[in-house]
């Protein structure tokens, strides 16, 4: 760990991955001190139109999106979707919290890239779709050992606020209508996989994060800190985040993730087995 850094249907759609995106925000600046290689510049090059992409033909699909849930309205091409996203945010009148956090370029692609990276050991800071927290990660002394300061929670307040306000049912409904955008962004990563399967896999991975008790000792490096407990230090960036935010916030995020997962797979559970 190092220095840290529905009105519109689009707004509801952004909230579907708000929790997962928040994960990426909190970890990437803490990891950058130990990343040996700088990630290449994030590409915003035009991608193929989402409406022309087949999203139900991936082999061994475990969690298909029911086509009936899709919208009959034409979707914009992935590389032209940012204006719609931003327009949805501008339509907000009662709460602009998410708007203050969002990086407005290649929003869906950044979301997909961040989600895909959470079970890994690092995530490129150039792909995260939200702005980083201000200030620096703080530590305090506890019986001669470095531990994370409780003051760090204050830096995360807006991100937790956004995650806490997520309506899982509305978010999942928007996601299903606009799924081709997410699938196209996932294909653009160079995979032939099915993004919804990856999303469920990542949610399950985060739900499996350990819940250690008490303060965790930190060891200083040239820049930043690492966990003294090697079992914790070797966790993925996503699971490491889940334990870093503390037991109370971890419990809240896991509850949101369970609700979101349930809504995303609801169509599959309800689909008839035959006529």
Structure pTM? 0.74
Q: Burial letters for 110-125: b for 16+ Cβ neighbours within 10 Å, e otherwise?
A: bbbbbbbbbbeebbbb
Flag whether pLDDT at 40 surpasses 50. no
pLDDT digits (tens, 9 = 90+) for 56-66: 444 689 999 87
Backbone torsions φ then ψ of 147, nearest 5 degrees:
-135, 160
Average pLDDT over residues 30-39: 39
DSSP state of 67: G
With bands split at pLDDT 50, 70 and 90, how would you rate the model's confidence at 190? very high
Higher per-residue confidence, 223 vs 86: 223
Which residues lie across from 102 on neighbouring strands? 130
Task: Please tell me the predicted confidence (pLDDT) of residue 119.
Answer: 95
Task: Please name the helix (run of DSSP H) or strand (run of DSSP E) that holds residue 243, with its range, or none.
Answer: helix 237-244
Flag whether pLDDT at 209 surpasses 90. yes
Distance CA(163)–CA(100), nearest Å, equals 14
DSSP state of 192: -
With bands split at pLDDT 50, 70 and 90, how would you rate the model's confidence at 67? low
Task: Please tell me the predicted confidence (pLDDT) of residue 8.
Answer: 36
Task: Please tell me the predicted confidence (pLDDT) of residue 73.
Answer: 67
Flag whether pLDDT at 268 surpasses 60. no
Flag whether pLDDT at 165 surpasses 70. yes
């Amino acid at each position: 760990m190092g220095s840290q850094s529905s009105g519109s249907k689009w707004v509801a759609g952004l909230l579907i991955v708000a929790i997962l995106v928040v994960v990426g925000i909190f970890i990437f600046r803490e990891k950058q001190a130990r990343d040996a290689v700088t990630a290449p510049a994030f590409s915003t090059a035009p991608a193929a139109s989402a409406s022309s992409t087949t999203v139900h033909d991936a082999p061994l699909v475990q969690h298909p999106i029911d086509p009936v849930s899709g919208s009959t309205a034409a979707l914009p091409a992935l590389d032209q979707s940012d204006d719609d996203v931003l327009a949805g945010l501008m339509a907000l009148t009662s709460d602009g919290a998410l708007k203050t956090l969002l990086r407005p370029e290649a929003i869906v692609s950044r979301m997909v890239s961040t989600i895909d990276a959470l079970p890994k050991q690092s995530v490129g800071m150039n792909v995260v779709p939200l702005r980083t927290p201000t200030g620096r990660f703080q530590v305090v002394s506890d019986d001669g050992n470095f531990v994370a300061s409780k003051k760090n929670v204050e830096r995360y307040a807006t991100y937790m606020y956004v995650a806490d306000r997520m309506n899982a049912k509305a978010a999942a409904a928007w996601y299903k209508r606009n799924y081709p955008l997410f699938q196209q962004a996932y294909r653009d990563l160079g995979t032939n996989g099915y993004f919804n399967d990856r999303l469920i896999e990542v949610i399950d991975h985060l739900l499996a994060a350990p819940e250690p008790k008490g303060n965790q000792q930190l060891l200083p490096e040239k820049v930043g800190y690492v966990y003294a407990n090697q079992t914790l230090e070797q966790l993925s960036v996503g699971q490491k985040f889940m334990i870093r935010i503390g037991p109370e916030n971890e419990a809240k995020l896991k509850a949101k993730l369970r609700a979101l997962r349930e809504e995303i797979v609801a169509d599959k559970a309800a689909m008839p087995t035959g006529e």
